[in-house]
Amino acid sequence: MTKLYIILEQALAVVSQNGQSWKVEIPLAGNVTQCIAVDPLRSESIYCGTFGHGLWRSRNGGRTFEQVGAGITHKQITAVAVSAKERVGDNGIVYAGTEPSALFRSEDGGDSWRELETLRQVPSAPTWSFPPRPSTSHVRWITPDPLVEGRLFTAIEAGALLRSLDGGEHWEDRKPGGPLDTHTLVMHPLAPDRLYSAAGDGFLHAGNGFMQSDDGGLTWYQPDEGLQHHYLWGAAADPANPSTIVISAAPGPQQAHNPATALSALYRREGTDPWQLLHDGLPTQRGMLASAIAVNSAEAGVFYAANNRGIFRSPDTGHTWEQLPIRWPDSLLGDRPHALAAVS
């Protein structure tokens, strides 16, 4: 049975499938939640970052949470990830990113942390800037390589996609022609060295929103044929086929994130085919904010998308969608999902 972890504006929602219905629990109500990560080898271990109240951990699949983060020097947790390859005992190495931009590593399941200080010493660091708060920046996304131990990618919003080959001890700066404003970075255990970047770069330079690397992030290209929107937000690949991808995109940041001007869409790509605009079972583009997208590794061909119009599921690799019949508590009606994770 599938369980969804949905990051809302003021809460984490844990949504569990129960036959044909879905049960909603709210373990972190009142927190400005930002990000979510599930240990890929221990699905009961969950980490949730908040903006202002630090990092929280669950060891029972989201039923209860406790605050952790000794050693993390900022309370604004903007990204979190757990490695499948780097393990200490039963725990996956956990990485947490913050605003201002800094990265921290835990080897004991989140009890203690140390900063990976060399991240802030790469040459591009002085240029990093988040447009709504230009005096600062933050770690937007963290992707541990699912196949190569110690290989790690960190996206700064905005300014760089950085690579480490030793678990974050040393960093390579952004590559020429690579993405500067990655919002979601996808790797797949069936596609060694391949990366998909859903980025905001296309807002200023059409064609640069979706970027792909086939050599572990050394070089990049932009397969954008068929895309009508170039500011990309969410992305996920079919657990059974890394060449089947679903993304969310908008004309620009205002349409992606501002309810007053909302306009976005989902697209699907198979192999090297052009992108296909998706609509069957989805809301109209106008009024829909950019979706968070996720897959459950146990559900081949299934995609989930969360936006201000609802939570949607595709059983056929993105071709058709249905809205999940979730009955939200009154306190959460109208809340916008910011991030999404799906597990069994």
Domains of the chain: 31-174 (2.130.10.10), 189-344 (no CATH)
Between CA 123 and CA 175 the distance in angstroms is 12
Can you name the residues that pair with 3 across neighbouring β-strands? 16, 343
For 162-194, write each residue's pLDDT tens digit.
999 999 999 999 999 999 999 999 999 999 999
Q: Which amino acid is at 78?
A: T
Q: What per-residue confidence (pLDDT) applies to 334?
A: 73
Q: Hey, which bits of 145-181 come out as E strands?
A: 152-157, 160-164
Q: Which residue has the tokens 């992108």?
A: 275
- Classify residue 129 by its DSSP letter: -
Arithmetic mean of pLDDT, 242-253: 97
Rounded average pLDDT over 226-242: 96
Q: Residue 144 pLDDT > 80, yes or no? A: yes
DSSP of 16-55, one letter per residue? EEETTEEEEE-TTTTS-EEEEEEETTEEEEEEEEEBSS-E
What one-character DSSP code corresponds to residue 263?
B
Is residue 58 scored above 80 in pLDDT? yes
Instruction: Give pLDDT, residue 90.
Output: 86
CA–CA gap between residue 301 and residue 237 (Å, rounded)? 9
- What is d(CA 234, CA 311) in angstroms, rounded to the nearest whole number? 14
Which pLDDT does position 94 carry in this prediction? 98
CA distance 281 to 199: 25
- 114 beta partners: 105
pLDDT recorded at residue 208: 76
Which pLDDT does position 302 carry in this prediction? Answer: 97
Q: pLDDT band for position 13 (50/70/90)?
A: very high
Q: Are 10 and 31 in contact (CB under 8 A)?
A: yes
For 337, counting Cβ atoms within 10 Å of its Cβ (0-12 exposed, 13-18 middle, 19+ buried), the class is buried
Strands 265-270 and 276-278 come out as: antiparallel
CB 7 within 8 A of CB 337: yes
What pLDDT, on the 0 to 100 scale, is given for residue 335? 80
Q: How far is CA 49 from CA 80, 101, 247, in A?
A: 7, 14, 23
In this predicted structure, the answer to whether residue 256 has a pLDDT above a threshold of 90 is: yes
Contact between residue 37 and residue 80 where contact means Cβ atoms under 8 Å apart: yes
The phi, psi pair for 254, rounded to 5°, reads: -65, -40
Q: How confident is the model at residue 50 (pLDDT cuts 50, 70, 90)?
A: very high
Note the pTM of the prediction, 2 decimals. 0.95
The pLDDT of residue 267: 98
> Has residue 331 got a pLDDT over 90?
no
